[in-house]
Amino acid sequence: MSGPVGIYVHLPFCVHKCLYCDFASCGRESGSHRYIPRYVQGVSAEIFRRAGEVGRIPVESVFFGGGTPTLVDPKYLGQVLGAIFQYFSVSTTAEVTIEANPGTVSPASLGQLRESGFNRLSLGVQSFDNRVLRRLGRIHTAAQAVQAFKWAREAGFANISLDLMYAVPGQSQGSWNETLRSACNLGPEHVSAYSLIVEEGTPFGDWYQRGLLDLPSQDEAAEMMETGVEILEEAGLHRYEISNYARQDFASVHNQIYWENRPYLGFGAAAYSYWGTERWANKESVHGYIEAIQAGQSPVDFTERLGQSGQMGETVMLGLRLLRGVDVAKFRERFGVELVSVYASQIEELLELQLVELTPEYLRLTPRGLDLANQVMSRFV
Amino acid sequence: MQQSRIRNFCIIAHIDHGKSTLADRLLESTGTVTDREMTEQLLDSMDLERERGITIKLQAVRMRYKANDGDEYLLNLIDTPGHVDFSYEVSRSLAACEGALLVIDASQGIEAQTLANLYLALEHDLEIIPVINKIDLPSADPDRVKQELEESIGLDASEAILASAKTGQGTEEILEAIVQRVPAPKGDPQAPVQAMIFDSHFDAYRGAVAYLRVMEGTLKVGDEIMMMSSHRRFEITELGVFSPRMIAVDQLGPGEVGCLMASMKQVRDCRVGDTITSATRPASEPLPGYRKAVPMVFCGLYPVDNDAYPELRDALERLQLNDAALTFEPESSAALGFGFRCGFLGLLHMDIVQERLEREFDLSLIATAPSVEYRVTTTDGDVKLIENPADFPEQNDIENIEEPYVQAAIMVPEQWVGPLMELCQGKRGIFTNMEYLTPERTRLIYELPLSEILLDFFDQLKSRSKGYASLDYEFIGYKSSKLVKLDILLNGDPVDALSCIVHRDHAEHRGRQLAVKLKEVIPRQMFEVPIQAAIGRKVVARETIRAMRKDVLAKCYGGDISRKRKLLEKQKEGKRRMKQLGRVEVPQEAFMAVLNVD
C-alpha cells in the first residue's frame, strides 16, 4: 500500500437513536451499553491483530465516529487511540477527529480527549432551532450546542466542524437561514450541511410511507441548498464537497481519503475497510462483534472484491463529490488508462448537458451538475 | 367403457362462486386423486390463474364413478373460463359437453356473466343441473337464489342441489345427478372421424398437443389425420386421457375426451376450433357451432429495449399456440420503434397476455393504450379498418368514422340503478331496456361504444355500485360517431404512441385531463418539458413538467460507498426501463395514462 492511509473506529452507542438515523447504532434501551468496556477491549485487540497483518503503516488520519463516541468514557477512548498510536505510524501532523453529541460533553471530558491526542472535533449540532431538533429526535438543545462549542475551544480544539441538516420535516427556509447564521457566528473551521435523507427502516421512513411526513418539496430543498452555499461561502467557509465547507486548509483529511477512493482500515462493529481491491465490513451487532474477537475469529461478515472497472466507477462516483473533481493524472497513474477514453461517451453526453466540465487536470461537476449529481454519477457505476 | 356410460359435463360459475373447489371435491370423491395428491384447486395449473382466481386454459379430467345403480361411469369434467373475455373459449367447451353444472353462490345470487354463459349452454342444448353453493355460509339465502332461478331463467328450482364445496355437502348428490340427468354422448364408432379441438398447448418434447372431444368415429394411434380448415395431414403418435395426469390410450371413440399428439411443430397446425378427421376417410363437413374468435381490443406492444424485438415475436408465437384468439402484426412507431399491434378478446385477455410476456418470457414491454378497430371512410370513398390511432388519416380527408358498439348487460341491486344509468349516459350509452328480475336484482341493457368500456368503465361500474354490479357484453355492430384524433406533443414533438381517438364533444376535456395525468406520471427531467394536447393543429391543453432541481445524495463516506453505489445502479436500471422519446425519458405508465382519466 503506497502512501498514508486512514483509520476509522466505530462506536455504535447512543443515548437513543435519532428518528432519521439508519447507522449502526444502539440506544441505551437496547441494553448493549453494558458491553462498552468489553467492546473497547475488543477494538484494541482488533487493531493489534490487524497491525500484525499489515505492519506499521503510515497513517494520516484517525476518525472516531458513531453512534455517539462521546458517550464512551474518555479514558476508554484514550486507550483505543493509544493502541492506534502504538501499532501504526501515525504522523505528528495527522488529523485525529472525534464525533461528539453536544448533549454528552463537559469541559472535563473535552479536556481529556484533547489530551489523549484528538485534535479535531465534529459536533453533531444539526440545527439551532429547538423545534427542528425535537422533530429530529435529538437529545440536546441549541443552547447546549453553543455551550459545547465554547467548551471545546477552551479545551484547545482549534479545528471544529459542525454538522447541520436541512430539508427536515416542518423546517422553514427562515429557520434554516437562522441555523446557518448561528453556525457561522461561532466561527467553526468546517461545516457539513446535509439534506435529510429519509431511509427505509427508520421511524421517518415508516411515516413517509404512510404519508405522515411533511417534507419540503424538491424545489424548497433546492432553495435551502442554495442559501446554504451562499451564507457559508460569505462566512469564508468554502464548499469543497457536495455537502462540505471549510476554511482554507481545513478540508477534512479523513473524508478526502474516501472521496479520493484511497485505502482505509475500519475497526469496531459495522466498520468498513477498503484495502487493495477489497472492501469488507465487520458484524453489525455489538455482541456478535465482541464474541468473534474474543473467540479469536474474524469479525468480518461482508466482503466484496472490486475489479478494475468497479474501482474505476467508484473512483469517479466519489471523486465527482469533490468540487475540484476527479484527478485525471492520478486516475491514469492508478489504472493505466485515460479517464476520458474509458468514459468517452458518458463524458461527451454530460458535457453536452452541461453537467460536467473537463480541464486538463480534472473532470468536475458544474454548479448544475452539483445539484443533479446522481444523474451524473449513475452513468459511471 | 360403453358409450352409454360416458358423461361429459362442465361447470358454469361466476368468479369466486366456488367452481375450482367444487371440481376438487368431485375429483376427491371419485378417488381420481388421493388426499395426498390433492393440491388446492387442481384444475388451475398456471400461477397466473391461481393468483387471479380465474381459469384461463381449459383442461379435461376423467373420473370413474360407481353410481347407485351399481354401474361404473366415466365422467369427463371439461373446465371452462369464467370471464366475459373468454366467451369464445366457453363456447368451445360447452360444445364438447352434454350437460353443465350451474354453480351459484348462495349469498351472491346470479351474476351477469353466469347468465350469459348459461344462455350459451342452453343454445347448445345442454342439460343444466343447478347447484346452489356455499350454503354453509351464514349469509347464504338459498330460497332467494331459487326464486331467481325460476323467475329470471325459468329453471325448475326444485331440482337445484344445495351444496358446500368447502365442507363436501352435496357432492354425492351432484355426481348422481350427472349420471342420471346428463345424456350419454351420441355418435357412431364406425362413422368417418369428427373430433373437435377445444384447447391446445405446446409441449417442448411433444410439440403441439390438441385437447379434443370425439363426436363421430374412432381415432387410433398411427392413423393419418387431417385438419379440416387447413387440410394439413399428420400421423397420430400418441393419444391420452387425464386422470388427472395423462395416461396413454390406443384409441378414442365417440363421446370420449382426451388429447392427441402428432408431431405438430407449428402454431398453425392445430388451431383451436378446428375439426380433426381421418385423412383416408374424411368426414364430409367440419363440425358446426364454433364461433371464430374475433379480437375486439387492440394495443401496440413494444420492447423497451429495441433489440428485444425478435424475442417478443418468438414469445407472441409461443403464446398464440395456446391462445387461438390472440393476433399480432408487426407495426412501427416513430416514438417506440418496432413492435406489434396485438388483438385481444377483451381487457382481461390483454392484461393476461402482457403479464405472461413479462413474467414467462422476461420481456420488458411498453403497451400503448388499448383501442378498438374503427371503420373510416375517406373523402375519396375508400373504407379502411384502422386499429391504431396513429394510422388515422388527416381530419380533412375523413368522410365518416364508425366504431364498434356492444350490447352491455348489467346486473345490479336496485339501489345502484340510478348511478349506473348516469355512468352509461356519460359514456355515450344508448338505453335499451331495464328488467326487474327480483327486488334485489335489476338487469340494465345499454348499447355502448366498445371504446368507452376500454377506458375506466369497469372500475367505475364497481365503484359506483360498491362492487355489486356485474357486466357482460357482446359486439353488436358498427355505428357512425363524431370522433376526432387527439394528439399529444412532448417537448414540441408529437408522440404517435400517445394519440387516441375520442368523441368530439369530449375531446377538449380529455385533452386537458390527459396532459395533467402525463405531468403526474412523467418524472421531472433535466430540462423543462411542455406537454400539449392537440386536435389537428389546434392545441387544446398545455402543461409543463418543470426541470429537475435537486437529485443528489447528501452523504457518502466509507461505510456508505457500497450501498450508495447500489442506489445509483438502481437509478440507472430505472432509467433503462424508461423509453427515450427525443430527449425525454418516459415511464411505461405514461402510455396507459389515457385509461386513467375520467
Express each pLDDT in B548-571 by its tens digit. Answer: 999 999 888 888 899 899 999 999
The alpha carbon of residue B575 is apart from the nearest alpha carbon of chain A, in Å, by 10
Neighbours of B75 (CB within 10 A): 23
The alpha carbon of residue B565 is apart from the nearest alpha carbon of chain A, in Å, by 7
Q: B190 pairs with which residues across the strands? A: none
∠ CA(A292), CA(A17), CA(A221), 5° rounding? Answer: 125
Residues from chain A that touch B549, judged by Cβ atoms under 8 A, are 218-219, 222, 371
User: In whole numbers, what is the pLDDT of chain A averaged over residues?
Assistant: 95
Q: What per-residue confidence (pLDDT) applies to B574?
A: 84
In the predicted structure, residue B222 carries a pLDDT above the cut 70: yes
- Show Cβ contacts of residue A283 under 8 Å, excluding neighbours closer than 6 positions: A269, A270, A289, A292, A299, A300, A301
In the predicted structure, residue B290 carries a pLDDT above the cut 70: no
Residues from chain B that touch A377, judged by Cβ atoms under 8 A, are 568
In the predicted structure, residue B48 carries a pLDDT above the cut 70: no
Q: Which residue has the higher pLDDT, A341 or B57?
A: A341
Is the Cβ–Cβ distance between B179 and B4 less than 8 Å? no
Q: Are B554 and A304 an interchain contact pair (Cβ–Cβ within 8 Å)?
A: no
DSSP 3-state of A20: coil
Decide if A372 touches B, using CB distance below 8 A: yes
pLDDT confidence band for B597 (50 / 70 / 90): low
- State the count of interchain CB pairs (< 8 A) between A and B: 94
Across the range B330-356, mean pLDDT stands at: 88
Decide if A80 touches B, using CB distance below 8 A: no
In the predicted structure, residue A247 carries a pLDDT above the cut 60: yes
Q: What per-residue confidence (pLDDT) applies to B291?
A: 58
Model confidence pLDDT, tens digit, residues B292-301: 667 888 999 9
Model confidence pLDDT, tens digit, residues B413-453: 888 899 999 999 999 999 999 988 776 778 899 999 999 88
Angstrom distance (rounded) from CA B93 to CA B493: 49
Q: What per-residue confidence (pLDDT) applies to A338?
A: 96
B227 grid coordinates: 385438419
Residues from chain B that touch A264, judged by Cβ atoms under 8 A, are 558
Is the Cβ–Cβ distance between A106 and A73 less than 8 Å? no
In the predicted structure, residue B594 carries a pLDDT above the cut 80: no
pLDDT confidence band for B54 (50 / 70 / 90): very low
Residues from chain A that touch B553, judged by Cβ atoms under 8 A, are 197, 242, 373-374
In the predicted structure, residue A290 carries a pLDDT above the cut 90: yes
Q: Are A259 and B575 an interchain contact pair (Cβ–Cβ within 8 Å)?
A: no
DSSP class of residue A76 equals H
Decide if A318 touches B, using CB distance below 8 A: yes
Q: What per-residue confidence (pLDDT) applies to B51?
A: 46
Across the range B508-512, mean pLDDT stands at: 91
Q: What per-residue confidence (pLDDT) applies to B267?
A: 55
Q: Which residues of A265-299 are buried (b: 16+ CB within 10 A; e: fewer)?
A: bbbbbbbbbbbeeebbbbbbbbeebbebbeeeeeb
**Of the segments A33-37, A322-326, B83-87, which one has the largest average pLDDT value?**
A322-326
Model confidence pLDDT, tens digit, residues A20-38: 988 888 888 888 889 999 9
DSSP 3-state of A301: strand
In the predicted structure, residue B40 carries a pLDDT above the cut 80: no
pLDDT confidence band for B57 (50 / 70 / 90): very low
Q: What per-residue confidence (pLDDT) applies to A232?
A: 98
- Show Cβ contacts of residue B325 under 8 Å, excluding neighbours closer than 6 positions: B88, B89, B293, B295, B343, B344, B345, B349
Q: Which residue has the higher pLDDT, B468 or A259?
A: A259
Q: What per-residue confidence (pLDDT) applies to A103?
A: 93
Q: Which residue has the higher pLDDT, B96 or B455?
A: B96
Across the range B372-382, mean pLDDT stands at: 93
Q: What per-residue confidence (pLDDT) applies to B17?
A: 75
The residue in chain B having the minimum alpha-carbon distance to the alpha carbon of residue A280 is: B559
pLDDT confidence band for B598 (50 / 70 / 90): low
In the predicted structure, residue A187 carries a pLDDT above the cut 90: yes
Q: Are B551 and A381 an interchain contact pair (Cβ–Cβ within 8 Å)?
A: no
In the predicted structure, residue B49 carries a pLDDT above the cut 50: no
Neighbours of B353 (CB within 10 A): 24
Across the range B505-521, mean pLDDT stands at: 91
Is the alpha carbon torsion for B190, B194, B197, B202 positive or negative? positive
pLDDT confidence band for B155 (50 / 70 / 90): confident
Model confidence pLDDT, tens digit, residues A86-135: 999 999 999 999 999 999 999 999 999 999 999 999 999 999 999 999 99
Decide if A283 touches B, using CB distance below 8 A: no
Neighbours of A230 (CB within 10 A): 12
Q: What per-residue confidence (pLDDT) applies to B289?
A: 59
Q: What per-residue confidence (pLDDT) applies to B41?
A: 46
User: In whole numbers, what is the pLDDT of chain B averaged over residues?
Assistant: 86
Q: What per-residue confidence (pLDDT) applies to B274?
A: 87
Across the range B34-48, mean pLDDT stands at: 51
Across the range A292-318, mean pLDDT stands at: 95
Q: Judged by CB atoms within 8 Å, which residues 242-261 of A form the interface with B?
A: 242-243, 255, 258-259
B430 grid coordinates: 344508448
Model confidence pLDDT, tens digit, residues A198-230: 998 899 999 999 988 999 999 999 999 999 999
Decide if A272 touches B, using CB distance below 8 A: yes
Q: Percent of chain B having pLDDT more than 70? A: 91
**Of the segments A48-62, B237-251, B470-484, which one has the largest average pLDDT value?**
A48-62
Q: What per-residue confidence (pLDDT) applies to B52?
A: 43
At B69, phi and psi to the nearest 5?
-80, 0
ipTM: 0.90
Q: What per-residue confidence (pLDDT) applies to B83?
A: 59
In the predicted structure, residue B58 carries a pLDDT above the cut 50: no
pLDDT confidence band for B86 (50 / 70 / 90): low
Q: Which residue has the higher pLDDT, B22 or B8?
A: B8
Neighbours of B557 (CB within 10 A): 18
Across the range B207-220, mean pLDDT stands at: 91
Across the range A347-354, mean pLDDT stands at: 95
